[in-house]
Structure formats: C-alpha cells, structure tokens
Structure 1
Amino acid sequence: MPTVTAQGKTIPCDAGANLRQVLLAHGVDLYNGRAELINCRSLGTCGTCAVEIQGEVSAVNWKDRARRSLPPHDSTRALRLACQTQVQGDITVTKYDGFWGQGQTILW
C-alpha cells in the first residue's frame, strides 16, 4: 500500500488513488487562499492544485500538460496537477506559494 507524505502527514492509500482526493480526505491544505473556494473540482482546468511530487505516480495526461503550459504556470517546472495524478508508489508532495501553487517559496 503506497503512502503519501504531505504537510507533515503520512497517509496510506490504494495504488491508483487520485492524489487530490487523498490529500483533501486527510485535511491537507491543497489550495492556497481563495483557490479553496473557486477551484475546478478535478476537471484539470484551473491549475490551482499544482504540486511537486517525488516518487512514483501516473504518467502526465493531456489535461495536466495543457493546463501547466499556460500562464502563470511554466511547463518546464516539475509540477503536477494533483487532480490529474494517480498515486502508484510512495510519494512526497511539496506545495508552493502563489494562487496556483506556481510560486518559488515552499509552503509545506
């Protein structure tokens, strides 16, 4: 059973679990500021659930790639949309500042 480490928590989950759902179900503050209220609810269109991930996850899909290719995101950064990512093995998740999580300062 894979584990997700985020915001000081270690969370067990099933292989193939949606990262956004795992984080929110365990009280992890995935969204910065008002993005908590106005995010796209897993459609992959807003980009506010962008996080950095170390570990084994699903391949990048077209929604994730397309959204992160548009400002304010930078497609060369190693970020992923949590709503479009499935956990495959043990991972560590890092969240950055900025409304879309696109900043340079680590929040957790």
Structure 2
Amino acid sequence: MSETVPVTVVDGEERTTIDVACGRTLRDALLDAGFEVYGSVSKHGNCGGRGLCGTCGVEVASGPEPTHWHDAAAARYGYPRLSCRITVAAPMTVRLVEKVMWGQLLPGESG
C-alpha cells in the first residue's frame, strides 16, 4: 500500500482533509476528490495538467516550496500556483480560488 499524506482543502468557509498518495499531482488528487480547480469555461477546455494553460491555480497556505517556473511568476504578480505542477509529498493546506473567466480572478482581487 502506498503512503498517503493529509491535504487540507479550504473551499470558501469549508475545510476538508483528504488523504493523498505521495507522488500524485495536487490537481489530480483534488479533481478525484470532487473539488473544482477550474473555472466554468476552463473546466471544459484546459491543458489536462501539462502546466500550459494556467487555469488550475490554488493558493498554497502551507506545503512544498515553489519549484516550477510558473511559481516565480505567480509570486511576482500575486496569482495562484498551478495545482498540476505541485507534487504531494508532505502534509499541506491549499485554498481553492474563485475563477470568473478562463482561469482568471477578478481584477484587483488576490483570490
């Protein structure tokens, strides 16, 4: 049996902890658990977890250090990290962000 780690997901006012197998991508684990990481349009047209479309963003409250090139841009411009580029290896807490169009937040909102 593979080792699992707890991932706490904050969705609005709700907090849910799911057990995720080490080595899975956060995006896949969230989708399998029924959480929506995409907006209304991008859930139908996205890159499938290849790190290209930028629409599966989540805010990481605690967890792995940024390692993907997108993370540097996210930190610089204040937008969420791509869940498809985060490998679950240790306990973490993430917050789902509301997406209005494609993967975008409303102007002036940090999530």
TM-score bracket, normalised by the shorter chain, equals: 0.7 to 0.9
In structure 1, the gaps of 5 or more residues are none
- The sequence identity of aligned pairs, in percent, is 27
TM-score by length of 1: 0.75
State yes or no: 1:3 paired with 2:6.
Answer: yes
Between Structure 1 and Structure 2, whose CA radius of gyration is higher?
2
Give the C-alpha shift of residue 24 in structure 1: 0.4
2:96 matched to which residue of 1?
95
In the alignment, is the contact (CA less than 8 A) between 1:58 and 1:87 conserved in 2? Answer: no
Computed over aligned residues only, the root mean square deviation of the Cα atoms, in angstroms, reads 2.4
CA change 1:34–1:78 in 2 (3 A) is closer
TM-score norm. by structure 2 comes to 0.73
Q: How many aligned positions are there? A: 100
Q: 4+ residue runs of structure 1 moved beyond 6 angstroms?
A: none
1:33 aligns with 2:40: yes
- Measure, in 2, the Cα distance between the counterparts of 1:23 and 1:89: 15
- Distance in 2 (alpha carbons) for counterparts of 1:75 and 1:43: 22
CA distance 1:105–1:56, shift in 2 (3 Å): closer
The amino acid that maps onto 2:88 is: V
Deviations 1:42-72 (A, max 9, x none): 111111101101222264223x34xx74xxx
Corresponding residue to 2:51 among 44, 48, 51: 44
**Native 8 Å contact 1:95 1:101 kept in 2:** no
Cα distance per residue 1:22-45 (max 9 Å; x no partner): 000010011111111011111111
